[in-house]
């Protein structure tokens, strides 16, 4: 594997995690976002990750500090990618935003650079032509809390070069992931093919006013023994990401129920600044959410 310099484009919750995990495993990482405010927020988010790595991975102060020192931050795309062997895109789940980004990226990235999308639900073939290098493009999808939930789904599209596919699989292993090759395109990959319908069902129950957030989560946790219910999971994923997915579904299908869910998410959560665990409140309030209390599962 020939990768040394990695650029992560998009410094949100998962983008920050991808960048820090990659730096933690010894790679030089450039983090790109559209402005310095976004990058400053990312730096704060990443500094908080240090404590997770010490608690969950027994990392030392030297380990976590060295990882941060291998990171740089830039709001100029051409500078952010000037040395990149691989660019991992983790920007919003909106087709036109991604298309526009890839058109710009293809013009400024070195010829050698491979592009990978971390899209949760969109297919690489939707953006392959926009990249200007479809043979060097594929999907590399991570789960949230990447340092613990270390899956990396590597999915090619029909035009991906086989050597690129192999190199990205090896890269995923090099940053501590369990690499999961997908040989054909599948909306939602493996993880989200299972997870998204589950979360959709929970959001639909809420939008229909069948039950409240805590009751729905409690039902799932008691009935299956799962440590988190669907709304606690949505808080980890981030409510903006969940909203973008359901809003895109509503627009594409005209499904009134999906639109009802999207409207609820925007009105009651996004417009109120309740964006999930990363902001301190989503469906639950953090750092002490009710689902983590000892009596939550009691009658």
* Pairing of the two strands 86-89 and 5-9: parallel
Give catalytic status of residue 192 as yes or no: yes
How open is the CA angle 94-109-141, to the nearest 5 degrees?
A: 45
Q: Which residues, listed in sequence order, are joined to residue 74 by a DSSP beta bridge? A: 32
Say what the pLDDT of residue 241 is.
87
Would you give per-residue pLDDT tens digits along the chain (299 residues)? 789 999 999 999 999 999 999 999 999 999 999 999 999 999 999 999 999 999 999 999 999 999 999 999 999 999 999 999 999 999 998 899 999 999 999 999 999 999 999 998 899 999 999 999 999 999 999 998 999 999 999 999 999 999 999 999 999 999 999 999 999 999 889 988 899 899 999 999 999 999 999 999 999 999 999 999 999 999 998 999 899 889 988 998 999 999 999 999 999 999 999 999 989 999 999 999 999 999 999 87
Q: Of these residues, 16, 141, 157, 244, which one is catalytic?
A: 141
Distance (Å, rounded) from C-alpha 14 to C-alpha 277?
Answer: 12
Distance (Å, rounded) from C-alpha 175 to C-alpha 97?
Answer: 28
CA atoms within 13 A on the CB side of 95: 13
* Cα–Cα nearest to 110, from 157, 77, 144, 66: 77
Q: Of these residues, 30, 119, 192, 244, which one is catalytic?
A: 192
DSSP code at position 269:
I
Q: Mapping DSSP to helix (H, G, I), strand (E, B) and coil, where does residue 115 land?
A: strand
Q: Do the beta carbons of residue 240 and residue 265 sit within 8 Å?
A: no
Q: Do the beta carbons of residue 199 and residue 243 sit within 8 Å?
A: no
Say what the pLDDT of residue 196 is.
87
* Cα–Cα nearest to 122, from 149, 90, 163: 90
Say what the pLDDT of residue 120 is.
82
Distance (Å, rounded) from C-alpha 248 to C-alpha 240?
Answer: 12
Say what the pLDDT of residue 288 is.
96
Sign of torsion, CA 238 139 253 251?
positive
Q: Over the range 30-49, which residues count as b (16 or more CB within 10 Å of their CB) and which as e?
A: bbbbeeeebbeebeebbeeb
Q: Of these residues, 11, 153, 244, 281, which one is catalytic?
A: 153
Q: Which residue has the tokens 């290098």?
A: 133
Say what the pLDDT of residue 188 is.
86
Give catalytic status of residue 157 as yes or no: no
Q: Over the range 102-125, which residues count as b (16 or more CB within 10 Å of their CB) and which as e?
A: beebbeebeeebbbbbbbbbbbbb
Q: At what angle do helices 61-69 and 36-57 cross, to 10 degrees?
A: 150
Q: Of these residues, 118, 119, 120, 244, which one is catalytic?
A: 120
């Amino acid at each position: 594997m020939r990768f040394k310099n990695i650029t992560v484009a998009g410094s949100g919750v998962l983008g920050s995690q991808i960048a820090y995990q990659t730096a933690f495993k010894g790679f030089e990482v450039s983090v790109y976002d559209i402005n310095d405010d976004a990058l400053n927020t990312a730096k704060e988010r990443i500094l908080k990750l240090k404590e997770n790595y010490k608690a969950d991975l027994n990392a030392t102060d030297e380990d976590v500090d060295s990882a941060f020192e291998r990171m740089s931050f830039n709001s100029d795309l051409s500078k952010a990618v000037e040395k990149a062997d691989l660019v991992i895109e983790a920007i919003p789940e909106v087709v036109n935003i991604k298309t526009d980004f890839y058109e710009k990226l293809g013009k400024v990235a070195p010829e050698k650079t491979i592009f990978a999308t971390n899209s949760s639900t969109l297919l690489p073939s939707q953006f392959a032509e926009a990249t200007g290098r479809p043979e060097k493009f594929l999907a590399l999808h991570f789960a949230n809390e990447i340092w613990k939930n270390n899956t990396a789904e590597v999915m090619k599209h029909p035009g991906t070069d086989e050597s690129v596919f192999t190199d990205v699989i090896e890269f995923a292993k090099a940053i501590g992931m369990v690499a999961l090759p997908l040989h054909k395109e599948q909306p939602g990959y493996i993880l989200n093919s299972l997870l998204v319908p589950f979360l959709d069902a929970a959001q639909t129950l809420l939008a229909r006013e069948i039950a409240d957030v805590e009751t729905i989560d409690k039902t799932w946790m008691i009935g299956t023994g799962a440590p988190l219910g669907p709304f606690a999971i949505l808080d980890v994923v981030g409510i903006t990401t969940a909203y973008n997915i359901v809003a895109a579904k509503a627009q594409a299908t005209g499904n009134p129920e999906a639109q009802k869910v999207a409207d609820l998410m925007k009105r009651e959560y996004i417009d109120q600044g309740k964006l999930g665990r990363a902001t301190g409140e989503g469906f639950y309030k953090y750092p002490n959410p009710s689902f983590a209390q000892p009596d939550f599962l009691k009658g």
